[in-house]
Amino acid sequence: MDTTAENHPKNKLRLWYGTQKEKIIRHKRLSIFIGVLFLFDLGIFTYFAETFPLALLIPSFHEDANLKSVRVFLPDASLQKLIEEKRELYPYKKKDQFIEALVAEQINAPSIQTGKRYLSDPVEIRRVWIHKNIAYIDFHKSIQNIKNPNPDLEKFLIFGIVRTIQENDSTIAGIRFLIDGKEADFLWGGVDITKSISSRTSQ
């Protein structure tokens, strides 16, 4: 039996773990390594999150959803009447989100028939909310900067939105239009928007 001091069980254990000071150093190094690895992983995740849309990272978000069929009313090419197009939207549970998606689809998405938007530039919707069955649509002030707006285009824009909302949600009694969170008299000067508008007004 080997009884040398080096081979004594306690000394072997001490040689394996080292002194208490060495253990602390090893723990610190391990902690630093784990921290650096975490920051590296976080940086990779942040890069992909900023570079690629969430819908690409999680493709099942829309693919697995049962899209809702909606009716959207747009002006025809000659600005003589509203025409109906069928679209499909993500079925938002909150009514204000659904109405905002409806409005965005109506004014910013290209027509199925013509392949073009009837407004020259996309319109930013700042906020949509509902109070006492009145839907409030708050546009960014840039909507008033559209070049050479046609009075008929303004009429069909407003009445198209009103009909689109009320045809898809019968609980909405009227629609109010705001600009930058404030009441306005007109978008471009042709249609009074100081009061709520309903589909009966637009007929």
Q: Domain coordinates of the chain in residue numbers?
A: 5-57, 65-202
Distance CA 7, CA 68 (A): 77
Average pLDDT on 38-63 reads 53
The pTM (predicted TM-score) of the whole model is: 0.65
Distance CA 147, CA 128 (A): 25
Please give the pLDDT value at position 40: 66
Q: Give the residues across from 179 on adjacent strands.
A: 139, 182
Please give the pLDDT value at position 41: 64
The confidence band for 180, taking pLDDT boundaries of 50, 70 and 90, is very high
Distance CA 114, CA 112 (A): 6
Over residues 102-118, the pLDDT tens digits come to 999 988 888 887 777 77
Sheet holding 125-131, edge to edge: 125-131, 134-139, 174-179, 182-183
Over residues 68-107, the pLDDT tens digits come to 899 999 888 888 888 899 999 888 889 999 999 999 998 8
Distance CA 183, CA 193 (A): 8
Distance CA 159, CA 153 (A): 10
Amino acid identity for residue 37 in this structure: L
Residue 129 three-state SS:
strand
Please give the pLDDT value at position 22: 64
Over residues 129-138, the pLDDT tens digits come to 999 999 999 9
Q: What is the mean pLDDT of the chain?
A: 78
The answer to whether the CB of 133 falls within 8 A of the CB of 165 is no
Sign for the pseudo-dihedral over CA of 130, 133, 134, 137: positive
Please give the pLDDT value at position 153: 83
Please give the pLDDT value at position 60: 44
Please give the pLDDT value at position 54: 43
The confidence band for 148, taking pLDDT boundaries of 50, 70 and 90, is low
Percent of the chain with pLDDT over 90: 33
Average pLDDT on 36-47 reads 65
Q: What's the count of helices (H) and strands (E) in the chain, helices before strands?
A: 7, 6
Q: Give the residues across from 175 on adjacent strands.
A: 135, 197
CA distances from 72 to 47, 51, 96, 103, 164 (A): 37, 32, 17, 9, 5
More confident residue, 8 or 189: 189
Average pLDDT on 118-124 reads 82
Helix 151-168 and helix 95-108, axial crossing angle in degrees, nearest 10: 140
Residue 160 three-state SS:
helix
**Range scoring the smallest mean pLDDT among 22-26, 27-31, 32-36, 46-50:** 46-50
Flag whether pLDDT at 23 surpasses 60: yes
